[in-house]
Amino acid sequence: MVGDILYLTMGDIIPVDGLLISGNDFVVDQSNATGEADPIKKSIYRAGDLGGDPFLISGSRVEEGNGRMLVCLVGSQSF
């Protein structure tokens, strides 16, 4: 449900769209959703930090690390 916190570990397929709120060395494979061939390193959002990428897309696979995400979009509303 929107607003839930989801714990993700290596090998998980992300079932919803959301924001990474905590994590260690978090890398995802988004090729299923975006076609990007290279794994993408994700980092939590910090105010004023324009370099981070906290967005997690449904259908992506966690390649490395673990973390928690805030669920933002589910079902037909997700990517």
* Percent of the chain topping pLDDT 70: 96
Residue 45 confidence (pLDDT): 75
The total number of structural domains that make up the chain: 1
pLDDT at 79: 67
Nearest residue to 2 via CA among 20, 23, 18, 21: 18
Where does residue 69 rank: exposed (0-12), middle (13-18), buried (19+ CB within 10 A)? buried
Residue 68 pLDDT exceeds 90: yes
Q: What is the CATH number of the domain that holds 68?
A: 2.70.150.10
Q: Which residues of 8-20 are buried (b: 16+ CB within 10 A; e: fewer)?
A: beeeeebebbbeb
Domain that holds residue 45: 5-77
Mean pLDDT, the chain, whole residue set: 88
What is the pLDDT, as a whole number, of residue 37? 81
